[in-house]
A = this chain, B = another copy of it.
Amino acid sequence: MSNQSAPEPPKHPRRRRRHTRTPVGASPGTLQPAPDALPPQIAAIGFGPQGVVERTPIDLEEIAAMRASCNVTWIDVTGFGDVATLKHLGEMFGLHRLALEDVVSVQQRAKVEDYGSHEFVVLRMVDPTAVQETEQLCLFVGPGFVLTFQERPGDCFEPVRQRLRDPSGQMQKRGSDYLAYALLDAVVDAYFPVLERLDARLEAIEDLILGTGGEAAVRELYAQRRCMLELRRAIWPLREATGTLVRGETKHFSAGVLPYLRDVHDHVVQLLDLLENCREMSSSLIDLHMSTNNNRLNEVIKLLTIISTIFIPLTFLVGIYGMNFDVMPELHLWWGYPACLGVGVLVAVSMLLWFRRRRWI
């Protein structure tokens, strides 16, 4: 009953978050990455009047040189398995130790924080190549540099890198704030395909419910609702964060970038709209399933009742003339048998008529 060909059921992975919070009561700024954190890999792209320089991987010493020679440097760190590297980077760019602690504890809520010498943004990113999981992205913006920290390889920044490499593009002429905007924009836009897929799944579930129903639809629906919860947890705080950016309360984003940030904020609000829509649709679907199911139950029970109500009295009737009393005068009449059958037919037909009048059949 559950082997309907629902289009491409997503392998819903059991949610097993790696909880890498710093231990309770630990000193603030304690860096304690998850045991399975990957060793950091650092990629750097610098640009300025002289063009674009790209180094992957780069080691820590070269970074300083690149910063000196380029207007804007983008350091992209993937994996935080090595505390020393992180600390070194922190000192090099003057990062606040609380911000650095947030980088390695990968269950942060999306937020924007101003640490004076740099702006700190945390948000969750979907990986377009493996959509089921989101990872944490931390982004530092300061004068002349953007630092990003990702949990795992695989991101949605490839188009941004392309635009950076394009000598005719606008990207090379603008500052670190514009680069940061471009990265935020890429992260936010990568949620749209996820939501569109979610929407398509809900339509498939709807077909399932209106079709054969069954428990498969419910389980699938339940899985999708959990998925929505995850997404909402990722996107909801993002709205506050981008809202902060839009209000222009942050000094590391120049006024020229504000319209672009407003655009990002609009997209986040639109994502929430879409998600809210999916939520409402999913609860409508539950109602639909419930009442479809109830209707089916009613049909089944109606059938049972019709059959029982017709045949149980008849069985009683024929039971009477199966009795072995010595004195049963009807038994000896020649028209006894046809009369008995006739009464039975009469009962059955009148029952059927009554059912029809009540619109049961």
Contact = CB atoms under 8 A, between A and B. Distances in A.
A207 to B, nearest CB: 10
A277 B23 CA distance: 22
Nearest to A240: B269
Interface in A289-334: 289-298, 300-305, 307-309, 311-316, 318-328, 330-334
Interface residues on A, range: 35 or more
Given A170-B27, A293-B295, A337 B327 contact: yes
Interface stretch (A61-69, A141-149, A247-255, A278-286): A278-286
Which among A290, A292, A324 has the greatest number of chain B C-beta atoms within 10 A?
A: A324
Interface of A, helix, strand, loop or mixed by DSSP: helix
A260 interface: yes
Interface stretch (A38-46, A83-91, A210-218): A210-218
B28 A260 contact: yes
B320 A320 contact: no
Given A309-B304, A314-B316, A327 B323 contact: no
Contacts of A158: 25
B281 A229 contact: yes
Interface stretch (A51-59, A74-82, A132-140, A185-193): A185-193
Interface in A1-54: 1, 14-15, 19, 21-28
B156 A24 contact: yes
Which among A169, A330, A337 has the greatest number of chain B C-beta atoms within 10 A?
A: A337
Given A192-B21, A233-B273, A291 B281 contact: no
A260 B331 CA distance: 94
A263 B98 contact: yes
A2 B113 CA distance: 50
A290 B298 CA distance: 12
Contacts of A287: 222, 286
A62 B77 CA distance: 54
A301 B305 contact: yes
25 contacts: A14-B203, A21-B189, A22-B189, A24-B190, A24-B192, A27-B163, A113-B262, A212-B359, A214-B295, A218-B288, A218-B291, A229-B280, A229-B284, A291-B293, A297-B297, A300-B360, A301-B301, A303-B305, A308-B308, A312-B315, A314-B316, A314-B319, A321-B325, A322-B324, A326-B334
Interface of A: 1, 14-15, 19, 21-28, 96, 98, 107-109, 111, 113, 115, 128, 156-160, 163, 169-171, 182, 185-186, 189-190, 192-193, 196, 203, 210, 212, 214-215, 218-219, 222, 225-226, 229, 233, 237, 259-260, 262-263, 266, 269-270, 273, 277, 280-281, 284, 286-298, 300-305, 307-309, 311-316, 318-328, 330-334, 336-337, 340-341, 359-360
